[in-house]
Amino acid sequence: MESESGEVTIPVEESTGEIKIANDVVATIAALAATETKGVAYLSGSLTHDVIAKHSSKNLSKGVMVTVEGKNVSVQISLIIEYGCSVPVVTAKVQERVKSAIENMTGLEVTEVKITVAGVNM
């Protein structure tokens, strides 16, 4: 369940405590999975972020919005695609990788991965 602090508590059977995962962690997992996909230049947050993103790996979750309800996660990603790459192929691969990474690393269920292609990297 999502808390006021932007965390999700994951019930674990036979656990001696509870596990909380910050929403930023889920967003970072999504960002890494997306940027590791061939054809993705970088994530798109804002113009300033886009310039910084080309030269830095800090604040990886910019361009990613995560909504957690119970054990369900909805992800929205804005990205810049490499020139010459097939948009449908790259975005389908991003959706697969993001879903797989979040589910494998957190145990949460990804219900949707919405992608906005915000530009083309020349």
Give the number of C-alpha atoms closer than 13 A to the C-alpha of residue 110, restricted to the C-beta side. Answer: 23
Answer yes or no: is 8 within a domain.
no
Answer yes or no: is 11 within a domain.
no
Q: How far is CA 92 from CA 30, 62, 119, in A?
A: 14, 20, 17
Containing domain of residue 28, as a range?
Answer: 22-121
What is the rounded average pLDDT for all residues in the chain?
84
Answer yes or no: is 96 within a domain.
yes
Q: Cα separation of 21 and 1, whole Å?
A: 10
> For the residues 1-7, what does the mean pLDDT come to?
52
Buried b or exposed e, range 72-89, using 16+ CB within 10 angstroms? ebebbbbbbbeeebeeee
Q: Give the global pTM.
A: 0.80
> For the residues 83-96, what does the mean pLDDT come to?
98
Task: Give the model confidence (pLDDT) of 31-86 as tens digits.
Answer: 999 999 999 999 987 444 445 445 544 556 788 999 999 889 999 999 999 999 99
Q: Residue ranges of the alpha helices (H) in the chain?
A: 23-35, 47-53, 87-106
Answer yes or no: is 27 within a domain.
yes
3-state DSSP assignment of residue 38: coil
| Domains in the chain, number | 1
Q: Please, which pLDDT band fits residue 9 given cuts at 50, 70 and 90?
A: confident
Answer yes or no: is 4 within a domain.
no
Q: What is the pLDDT of residue 50?
A: 47
CATH of the domain at 101: 3.30.70.1350
